[in-house]
Chain A
Amino acid sequence: GAGVSQSPRYKVAKRGQDVALRCDPISGHVSLFWYQQALGQGPEFLTYFQNEAQLDKSGLPSDRFFAERPEGSVSTLKIQRTQQEDSAVYLCASSLARAGGGYTFGSGTRLTVV
């Protein structure tokens, strides 16, 4: 597609519920990233894929967070047993390998845990 597509746009989850957030990167983009943006803050790095390989997951806040990109295209960020502090906008971005001009971000999924 023309841009990075994320779904759903909004998700309300009850505390303890599992959620799955989807990202469709720009076709042909090798690199895919997930960021978490809390209210009033800048995006914070979660994890990075190059094709299907997860090369950096240093930003995942706990083992409740899991990301996958099994065929090197669509990626899913899964959060198990959601907690209120997980409420944030989750941003996905993609880029050509070593694109010095920065990523292309999707519009994000706003997760609210109640």
Chain B
Amino acid sequence: DQQVKQNSPSLSVQEGRISILNCDYTNSMFDYFLWYKKYPAEGPTFLISISSIKDKNEDGRFTVFLNKSAKHLSLHIVPSQPGDSAVYFCAASELQGAQKLVFGQGTRLTINP
């Protein structure tokens, strides 16, 4: 039972364009969502988060959008840079600061020069 789903295993985007990574969840108790970025042979690195009281959070080139009615969130990266090439995981928890995160399967993003 996959409570957090990233349906696109991979995504290829041209440098300078917008990258959009999608995530769906099924557990209506989730109210805090995070995106992590992972390079090979390293642990995931926290990127950006959003709580359910918001529908948008922005940090530099990264923006996360939350649609609670659709149980859907997305990460927008603009403009995309070669260093953004990595695996991106979305994660969810039932309470901000809660100690258990449920992760999606990841999307491998490749930025082409």
Contact = CB atoms under 8 A, between A and B. Distances in A.
A103 interface: yes
A10 to B, nearest CB: 10
A102 B34 contact: yes
B46 A108 contact: no
A91 B6 CA distance: 20
Contact of B46 (A59, A101, A106): A101
Contact of B103 (A31, A43, A58): A43
Contacts of A102: 34, 36, 46, 49
B104 to A, nearest CB: 5
A91 B43 contact: yes
Q: How many of chain A's residues touch chain B, expressed as a range?
A: 20 to 34
Contacts of B104: 42
Interface stretch (A14-22, A69-77, A79-87, A92-100): A92-100
Contacts of A101: 46, 49
Interface in A34-59: 40-45, 48, 50, 55-56, 58-59
Contacts of B29: none
Contacts of A42: 4, 6, 89, 91, 103-106
Interface of B: 4, 6, 32, 34, 36, 41-46, 49, 89, 91, 96-97, 99-106
20 contacts: A33-B99, A40-B105, A42-B103, A42-B106, A44-B103, A45-B101, A50-B99, A55-B99, A59-B100, A91-B44, A100-B49, A101-B46, A102-B46, A102-B49, A103-B101, A104-B46, A105-B36, A105-B44, A107-B41, A108-B43
Interface of A: 4, 31, 33, 40-45, 48, 50, 55-56, 58-59, 91, 93, 98-108
